[in-house]
Structure 1
Amino acid sequence: MTQARQLKPYDVEISVAAGRDEVWESVTQPALLHQWFGWDYDGLAAEIKQIFLDEATLLAPEQMGWADGSYLEVTGDDDSARVRVTREGNSPGGSERYDAIEEGWRAFLIQLRFLLDQRPEGRRRTLYLTGETTGRQALTLASGEWERFGPRVAWTVDGDGHLIVAAGRVPLDEPTATHFEVTVSMFGADDATFEAARETWAKRWAPMAAGAEITTATDPAPGS
C-alpha cells in the first residue's frame, strides 16, 4: 500500500464500438493483444505475457489488477463498451507530472480503439520512432487533423490508413524539445510494403529529431 500511495494517480478511459465481451477478449488474449498493445520489438511477446498473464490478477468479471494498485476494467453492453485504466496514489507533483505508465496507456488505448472501431484486416506491424523534438514538429509528420488525448498524446490516421500516435514527455504545445515516441501501426502489409514505409518514415523523422531511431519487430527496445 505504501508503494501505491507514492505513485502518481491516473484515470484513463475510452469508449469503443464493440461489445463488452469482445473488448475483454482483446485485453486478455495474447494474439489479440499483439494487435494493439505497445509496439513491435524483439521482446513484445514476453512483455505481454508478463503484464497480462503472469502479473495480472482477476479482481472481478471484466476487471484485472496489478501490484502497484492499478486496474483495468471493461464495462458496457453487447454493442459498445468503455475501457478504464486507473491507479490510486497521492505522490507529490500534481496531476500534470509526467508518468510513463499513464501516457503509455493513453497511447495504447487509442490503438485498441482503432482496432475495434475500424477493424483493419491483417496482422499489425509497427514502426516505433524515438528521438528528441518538439510537439509542433512531431505533429507535422502526417497531414490531416490530429486529435488530442490528454496534454501529451495525439493521434491521426494518414492517407494510407495507418494509425499514428505521438507522445511526448512535456505537453505538446510547449516549445521545449523533449523525448518523443511515435508509433505507426499498419495492418496487412507485406514485407516490401513495410520496408518501403520504413524508409519513408526514416526520411521524415531523421531531420526533425535528435538521436532519431526506428524500432521494428526484430530490434531490441531503444536504449536496451
Structure 2
Amino acid sequence: MTEPEIVIETTIAAVPERVWRALRDPALIRRWHGWEYEVPGGLDDEIREIYIDGADADAEALTLTFQGGDRFTLRPAAEGTVVRITRPAKGSHPEWDDWYEDVTEGWTTFLQQLKFALERHDLAERHTLYLDGPTSGATAMELLGVAAITGPPGSAYTALVATGDALSGTVWFRAPKQLGLTVDALGPGLLILAIQPQNEQRPGGGAQIILSGYGRGAEEFESLADRWTHWWETRESPGTCC
C-alpha cells in the first residue's frame, strides 16, 4: 500500500520570473542550493544532475518535474511567488524508498535556502559549511546548544553555542525535523539544523548542520569553518541559549 503524497510549500517575496530563473540557471542555483564539497565536480555536477539533466522544465506553466516524479510548481501571489514541491507517495518508486525521508528533508532544506537567498541577499555569492553524521540519539539542535530556542519564525534569539560562538538573529523557519536560524554576524547568514532519518547506514538516526555565510572573505569564513569542524569531530559539550 502506498502512502499519501507529500507537499512542501512556501511563499517567496520575489516575482515568479525571478524565482524561475533561480531554478534554471546553474550559476544562480549554486548560490542557494546545498553546500560546497571537495570532490571532482562537486556542487556544480550535483546541480547539473538534479536540475538540468534530471529535470523536465515547462517554462510556460512554471513547473519542473524531476526523475522519480517530484515536481516544483510556481504560481504568483500577492506576496510574491508560492513555490510548491509535490512528492509522489512512498512506494510509487520502490527504488527510492530507502532514501525517501532523506529526499523529503532535503527538499525542505533547499526550499528554505532558495527563499533566504532571494529575499535576504538577492542571490549573492556565499560560503558554506556542512557537517553531518550518525548520533547516539542527540539531535543537531541539542549538540550545538540551540534546542531551547522555541520561538516562532520571526522571533529573536541569542545563543552561546558549543563551538564557542555567540550567535544572534531570528528564527527563519521551523519544520518537524528542522530548525532554521538567521545569523547576524554572517551577513546575515543562514544556519539549518536537521534530524536525519534512521536507515541502514544510520540505525540511530543522525544530525546535520548547514551554515551559509555572506559578506565575509574566504579566509575569515574558512577560520570559522575550521573551528566548527573541530567541534563536530570532537563533539564538545552543548552550549547555552536564549
Cα distance, 1:179 vs structure 2:
1.0
| 1:118 equivalenced with 2:120 (yes/no) | yes
Whole-Å separation in 1 of the counterparts to 2:184 and 2:57: 40
Cα distance, 1:8 vs structure 2:
7.2
* TM-score, L = length of structure 1: 0.76
- Tell me the secondary structure at the aligned position of residue 108 of structure 2: helix
> Which whole-Å deviations, capped at 9, do the CAs of 1:167-213 have from their partners, x for residues lacking one?
11259xxxx9631111100124322212221123224434437xxxx
Counterpart among 185, 202, 210 of residue 229 in structure 2: 202
Q: Tell me what 1:11 maps to.
A: 7
Q: Tell me what 2:111 maps to.
A: 109
1:21–1:78 Cα contact (<8 Å) kept: no
1:121–1:188 Cα contact (<8 Å) kept: no
Which structure has more relative contact order (CA 8 Å, sep 6+)? It is: 1
Aligned residues, how many?
197
Q: Tell me what 1:215 maps to.
A: none
Counterpart among 152, 156, 171 of residue 177 in structure 2: 152
| 1:30 equivalenced with 2:32 (yes/no) | no
Whole-Å separation in 1 of the counterparts to 2:233 and 2:4: 33
Q: Tell me what 2:70 maps to.
A: 70
Whole-Å separation in 1 of the counterparts to 2:171 and 2:235: 18
Q: Tell me what 2:101 maps to.
A: 99
Give the letter for the 2:17 counterpart.
D
- Tell me the secondary structure at the aligned position of residue 209 of structure 2: strand
% identity of equivalent residues:
26
Q: How does 1:186-197 map to 2 (within 5 A)?
A: 186-197=213-224
2:36–2:129 Cα contact (<8 Å) kept: yes
5+ residue gaps, structure 2, are 93-98, 147-160, 237-242
2:36–2:128 Cα contact (<8 Å) kept: yes
> Which whole-Å deviations, capped at 9, do the CAs of 1:133-168 have from their partners, x for residues lacking one?
422224534745545532111110123122101111
Identify if the C-alpha distance between structure 1 residues 29 and 6 changes in structure 2 by more than 3 Å, giving closer, same or farther: farther
2:28–2:123 Cα contact (<8 Å) kept: no
- Tell me the secondary structure at the aligned position of residue 182 of structure 1: strand
Counterpart among 9, 16, 23 of residue 20 in structure 1: 16
- Tell me the secondary structure at the aligned position of residue 99 of structure 1: helix
1:27–1:33 Cα contact (<8 Å) kept: yes
Whole-Å separation in 2 of the counterparts to 1:192 and 1:52: 30
CA RMSD of aligned residues (A): 3.0
Cα distance, 1:44 vs structure 2:
1.0
1:121–1:187 Cα contact (<8 Å) kept: no
* TM-score, L = length of structure 2: 0.70
Q: Tell me what 2:206 maps to.
A: 179
- Tell me the secondary structure at the aligned position of residue 27 of structure 2: helix
Whole-Å separation in 2 of the counterparts to 1:21 and 1:139: 39
* Bigger shift: residues 181-190 or 105-114: 181-190
Give the letter for the 1:163 counterpart.
L
